[in-house]
């Protein structure tokens, strides 16, 4: 019997932090991680391009025995998830599922806020999509959402510069306008930003709740599998993890290992249309 995996997709290696959280909560399952590092960042691209890149990744993961896929990439969740669920899955993989990260994160932020003022740091595409704003106000119309697009943060993290003085300066610039709004809850709306979580907490102070996604998504996935035995029963449980990337570099191995919390081995693959 072939393994049936849980897939994790991100535009780079940031989603390895999501995988790390999931492995702590659900270590028995088998996982395939795919990072599209050859085309990172997604956040400055058009909605059409984001959908096409994400669709190619879904094709690869489903063709490599994934039964359920987590879109760890917030940009993909914001700009591609709905169309993937409503059109792509029914036409191509009706017995499989794709889950995003924005709704679980929005739910957590609503639970945490006390003054109903939530800040969001995210990519340009995620902010433009208004996905966090839409999901939060759908659940609680009284909450005010303040968003800031941060086009420099993903390149800073992907280049390994997230602990430098430059990163500190850029973070303070992005956070200033949100702090001026008297927010009490801050969503880190991109998996890459968790690399700078400690620095962000230092800047915003102890009175602001910082919402990162790795623990949230792990809990939500555990709950999902408990509620959907028809999906859970299909998944193999050999504690196996496979990591793919579209551009294998020493930096991916080094920084990916930091995100996952251990040394990693990865295989370079192509997911472009001509190589499926």
The residues annotated as belonging to the active site are 73, 190
| Longest Cα separation, the chain | 57
Would you give the DSSP letter of residue 9? Answer: E
d(CA 134, CA 263): 38
Residue 54: other Cβ atoms inside 10 A: 27
Residue 124: CB partners within 8 Å, gap ≥ 6? 43, 44, 149, 151
Say which residue the tokens 């939500």 belong to: 220
Do 183 and 109 form a contact (C-beta atoms < 8 A)? no
Q: 238: which DSSP letter?
A: S
Any idea which residue has 């990865």 for tokens?
A: 266
Give which of 30, 42, 34, 72 is closest to 268, Cα–Cα: 34
CA distance 180 to 262: 38
């Amino acid at each position: 019997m072939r393994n049936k995996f849980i897939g994790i997709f991100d535009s780079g290696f940031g989603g390895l932090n999501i995988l790390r959280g999931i492995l702590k909560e659900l270590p028995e399952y088998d996982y395939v991680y795919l990072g599209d590092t050859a085309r990172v960042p997604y956040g400055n691209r058009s909605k059409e391009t984001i959908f096409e890149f994400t669709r190619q990744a879904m094709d690869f993961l489903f063709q490599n025995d994934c039964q359920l896929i987590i879109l760890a990439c917030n940009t993909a969740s914001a700009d591609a998830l709905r169309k993937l669920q409503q059109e792509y899955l029914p036409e191509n993989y009706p017995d499989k599922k794709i889950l995003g990260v924005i709704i679980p994160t929005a739910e957590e932020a609503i639970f945490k806020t006390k003054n109903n003022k939530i800040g969001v740091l995210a990519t340009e595409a995620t902010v433009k999509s208004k996905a966090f704003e839409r999901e939060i106000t759908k659940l609680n119309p009284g909450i005010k959402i303040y968003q800031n697009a941060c086009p420099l943060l993903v390149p800073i993290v992907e280049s390994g510069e997230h602990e430098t003085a430059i990163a500190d300066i850029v973070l303070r610039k992005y956070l200033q306008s949100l702090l001026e709004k008297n927010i009490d809850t801050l969503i880190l709306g991109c998996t890459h930003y968790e690399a700078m979580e400690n620095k962000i907490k230092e800047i915003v102070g102890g009175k602001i709740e910082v919402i990162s996604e790795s623990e949230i998504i792990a809990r939500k996935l555990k709950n999902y599998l408990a509620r959907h035995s028809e999906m859970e029963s299909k998944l193999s449980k050999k504690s196996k993890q496979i990591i793919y990337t579209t551009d294998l570099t020493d930096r991916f191995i080094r920084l990916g290992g930091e995100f996952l919390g251990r040394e990693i081995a990865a295989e370079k693959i192509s997911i472009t249309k001509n190589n499926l």
